[in-house]
Amino acid sequence: MYTQLPFSLSEGEEIKSTIKPVPTGYRLRYISGYIIIGIFVALWLSTFVFSLLQNIMGFLAIAIIIWLVIILIGVIFASISYNKFAVWVTNHRIISARGLIGYNTESMPLETIVDVVINRGIIDRILGLSSVMAVPMGGTPAYGRRSNFSTVGFIPALRPNEAMDLQKQILDLRNLRKKDLKE
């Protein structure tokens, strides 16, 4: 976690909540792609070994070893990424920090949010979790860290009741912010 905030607050801005996902859920969501891709990569790479050894047990052993190495890399990346992931909701904006080696801090002004969507994809359902996505003006809901626009408003691996509370909080703060800007 960050020992100090990786951003500055503007005048009159105050942090309303700090969000960290459920650690196990975040890590499992993160490595799920490594597990699936790892199977294909392991089988593909081990076919070269099989052609050299002509031994099915050697093929399976190499495939499993490669798959486990890929999963281990995913677990390490997931742990590092989790430690650098945090989201803050202020009375002016949503701010997220995420990264692997360094970190990136992005913010989304509350007045630009048109909707806050709760998503429960297959991995979320299996783990009993939910994800929240704040949809900016001109954007469409996009889930995951590889979406087409900024994922500052994407918060994965929350407990369902936390996701609903966060959705309400963001929408209420957005409405207050719009009202304040009109005055």
How far is 182 from 166, CA to CA, in rounded Å? 24
Cα–Cα distance measured from residue 127 to residue 109, given in angstroms and rounded to the nearest whole number:
31
- pTM of structure: 0.83
Instruction: Report the alpha-carbon angle 99-139-110, nearest 5.
Output: 70
> pLDDT tens digits, residue range 49-62?
666 666 777 677 77
Q: For residue 165, what pLDDT is reported?
A: 98
Quote the tokens at residue 9.
């607050």
Torsion (CA) 4, 73, 131, 97 in degrees, nearest 10: 20
Sign of CA dihedral 152, 156, 159, 163: positive
Q: What would you report as the CA-atom Rg of the chain, rounded to the nearest whole angstrom?
A: 20
**pLDDT band at 173; cut points 50, 70, 90:** very high
Please check the confidence at residue 171 and state whether its pLDDT lies above 90: yes
Q: Nearest-CA neighbor of 132 among 149, 151, 112? A: 151
Residue 10 amino acid letter? S
Residues 92-113 have a mean pLDDT of: 93
- How far apart are the C-alpha atoms of 181 and 150, rounded to whole Å? 24
User: Per-residue pLDDT for 180 more than 60?
Assistant: yes
Q: Specify the pLDDT at position 140.
A: 61
CB-count exposure of residue 6 (10 Å: 0-12, 13-18, 19+): middle
Q: What is the DSSP letter of 156?
A: E
